[in-house]
């Protein structure tokens, strides 16, 4: 096992849709193990595969009693509304109060191929929505309201040189410029 570099905003892999894993084999298990190690080292409570540059539908999380792995996750139902201050390992050092549904119904598979069917709300529900968003190519910045977005753009512009020197174009795109 080893840790992997986490991609930060401006990197185009974060804006691309991931694809389902057809087979859950030893390679997937090894990838998940590295992702868990990377998540703990960061430290964070969730990590999606495309955050380490792998365009596959897989995330790991630990809301306090994990770690857990979800392969091919999908949210099939949401309800309610909840405001929570959310951060992201790919947008380091920043956080915003974001409104999302409170409760979600997540389906997917574990590393043994067993079907997962989990209803979660509040903190865990938020982790699931954040990670599934990653796998669909969305960052939390996509969930900001208009005022938050304006402020975020100013902050991100100031930070761009230190955060994403390798991909200024991707960042322009993210900022809608
Ligand atoms: Zn994130």
Rounded Cα–Cα distance for residues 85 and 99 (Å): 9
Same structural domain for residues 54 and 65? yes
Q: How far is the CA of 46 from the centre of ligand 1 (A)?
A: 7
Strand order in the sheet with 68-79: 46-48, 58-61, 68-79, 103-109, 115-120
Share of the chain above pLDDT 70, in %: 89
Catalytic pick among 23, 37, 41, 131: 131
Rounded Cα–Cα distance for residues 41 and 59 (Å): 16
Same structural domain for residues 24 and 59? yes
Same structural domain for residues 68 and 21? yes
Same structural domain for residues 156 and 137? no
Same structural domain for residues 107 and 79? yes
Same structural domain for residues 137 and 148? no
Please tell me the predicted confidence (pLDDT) of residue 151.
Answer: 87
Residue 7 lies in a domain: no
Cα separations in angstroms, 6 against 50, 125, 147 = 9, 23, 28
Residue 119 lies in a domain: yes
Please tell me the predicted confidence (pLDDT) of residue 77.
Answer: 98
Residue 126 lies in a domain: yes
Rounded Cα–Cα distance for residues 126 and 101 (Å): 8
Same structural domain for residues 40 and 117? yes
Q: How far is the CA of 162 from the centre of ligand 1 (A)?
A: 19
Whether omega before 67 lies within 30 degrees of 0, making that bond cis, reads yes
Domain count, the chain: 2
Q: Mean of the pLDDT values across residues 138-162?
A: 83
Closest CA to 88 of 121, 59, 120, 56: 59
Q: How far is the CA of 87 from the centre of ligand 1 (A)?
A: 7
Same structural domain for residues 153 and 99? no
Condensed to tens digits (0 to 9), the pLDDT of residues 20-76 reads 999 999 999 999 999 999 999 999 999 999 999 999 999 999 999 999 999 999 999
Residue 149 lies in a domain: yes
Tally of residues, the chain: 177
Give the domain CATH number at 112: 3.90.45.10
Neighbouring CB atoms inside 10 A of 155's CB total 11
Residue 86 lies in a domain: yes
Q: How far is the CA of 177 from the centre of ligand 1 (A)?
A: 22
Neighbouring CB atoms inside 10 A of 152's CB total 17
Same structural domain for residues 152 and 99? no
* pLDDT tier for residue 78 given thresholds of 50, 70 and 90: very high
Same structural domain for residues 135 and 158? no
Q: Is 131 a catalytic residue?
A: yes
Q: Which domain holds residue 176?
A: 144-177
Same structural domain for residues 49 and 123? yes
Residue 69 lies in a domain: yes
Condensed to tens digits (0 to 9), the pLDDT of residues 95-141 reads 999 999 999 999 999 999 999 999 999 999 999 999 999 999 999 98
Q: What are phi and psi of 110, to 5 degrees?
A: -95, 180
Same structural domain for residues 30 and 84? yes
Give yes or no for residue 8 having a pLDDT over 60. yes
Structure tokens at 56: 């596959």
Give yes or no for residue 174 having a pLDDT over 60. no
């Amino acid at each position: 096992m080893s840790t992997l570099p986490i991609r930060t905003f401006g990197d185009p892999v974060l804006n691309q849709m991931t694809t389902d894993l057809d087979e859950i084999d030893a390679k997937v298990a090894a990838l998940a193990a590295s992702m868990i190690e990377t998540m703990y080292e960061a430290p964070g409570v969730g990590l999606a595969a495309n955050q380490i540059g792998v365009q596959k539908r897989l995330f790991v999380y630990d809301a306090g009693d994990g770690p857990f792995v979800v392969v091919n996750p999908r949210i099939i139902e949401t309800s309610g509304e909840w405001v929570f201050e959310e951060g992201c390992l790919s947008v380091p050092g920043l956080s915003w109060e974001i409104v999302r549904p409170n409760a979600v119904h997540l389906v997917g598979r574990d590393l043994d191929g067993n079907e997962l069917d989990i209803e979660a709300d509040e903190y865990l529900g938020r982790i699931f929505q954040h990670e599934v968003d990653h796998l669909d190519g969305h960052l939390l910045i996509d969930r900001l309201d208009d005022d938050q977005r304006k402020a975020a753009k100013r902050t991100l512009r100031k930070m761009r040189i230190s955060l994403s020197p390798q991909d200024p174009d991707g960042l322009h795109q993210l900022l809608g410029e």
